[in-house]
Amino acid sequence: MYSRPGYGQSTPLGRSDGASIALLFASAQSAQVAGVVALSPHWFVEEQTVASISALQAPEVKLPLLARLARYHR
């Protein structure tokens, strides 16, 4: 796992996935949530996105990618 802007460390110009994460949490823990205010959440997933993320999980793709991202992310 790597971190990137948007996961609790957004810059003023960064994009955050917090709204999507809040909606996912609320849907899974509805008894604990009275309401959610979400600005610009991702509310659908395209098949192309799912396929692309799946392709990144192969070790021969994932390991070199993580090495390149390490320069910019913790």
Which among 2, 5, 42 has a CA at the least distance from the CA of 21? 42
pLDDT digits (tens, 9 = 90+) for 57-72: 999 999 998 898 888 7
Question: Looking at residue 20, what DSSP letter applies?
Answer: H
Co-location of 7 and 35 in the same domain: yes
Domain count for the chain: 2
State the pLDDT at residue 11. Answer: 60
- Are 58 and 68 contained in the same domain? yes
- In terms of domains, do 6 and 38 share one? yes
Q: Domain range spanning residue 7?
A: 1-43
Task: Report the pLDDT value the prediction gives residue 49, as an integer from 0 to 100.
Answer: 84
φ/ψ region of 8 (left if φ > 0, alpha if ψ in -120 to 50, else beta) reads left
Answer yes or no: are the C-beta atoms of 51 and 41 closer than 8 Å.
Answer: no
CA 15 – CA 5 distance, rounded (Å): 7
Q: In this structure, are residues 27 and 33 in contact, taking their beta carbons and an 8 Å threshold?
A: no
Structure confidence by residue, pLDDT tens digits, 22-54: 888 999 999 999 998 888 787 777 898 889 889
Is 20 found in the same domain as 2? yes
